Amino acid sequence: MTIAGATNSKIDYSAFEKGDGRMCTLSEEIALENEKKGKAEGKAEGKAEGIIETGLDVGLSEQDILERLQKKLDISLQKAQEYVSRFGKRTV
């Protein structure tokens, strides 16, 4: 329970009785949950990069791109700004 709590995992602790030798199972559950979170974050980053590239290609302002990111990805302005900062730099 300590490991799951420290990693902010949403795991049903009642499934893991004390001393039943299922520690590996708990670790595997935490690993799978973290993998799912990582994949979701990767997908969001990929979508953000696409929105930013497309917006820049068609001449949208940074403000318009930020608004699109927030709307399409359901994210905060701060997160949208982080994406623009990371993916908005154009190389020629």
Tell me: the pLDDT tens digits for 8-17? 666 665 665 5
Q: What is the pTM of this model?
A: 0.61
Greatest alpha-carbon pair distance for the chain in Å reads 61
Distance (Å) of CA 22 to CA 18, 25, 26, 57, 66: 9, 5, 6, 53, 46
Burial of 65 (C-beta count, 10 Å sphere; 0-12/13-18/19+): buried
Q: What is the DSSP letter of 46?
A: H
Q: What is the DSSP letter of 61?
A: -
Tally of CB atoms within 10 A around 55: 20
Looking at residue 61, what is its pLDDT?
A: 94
pLDDT tens digits, residue range 23-77? 567 778 888 888 888 888 888 899 999 999 999 999 999 999 999 999 999 999 9
State the chain's mean pLDDT as an integer.
81
Q: How many residues does the chain have?
A: 92
Q: Give the span between the Cα atoms of 77 and 62, in whole angstroms.
A: 12
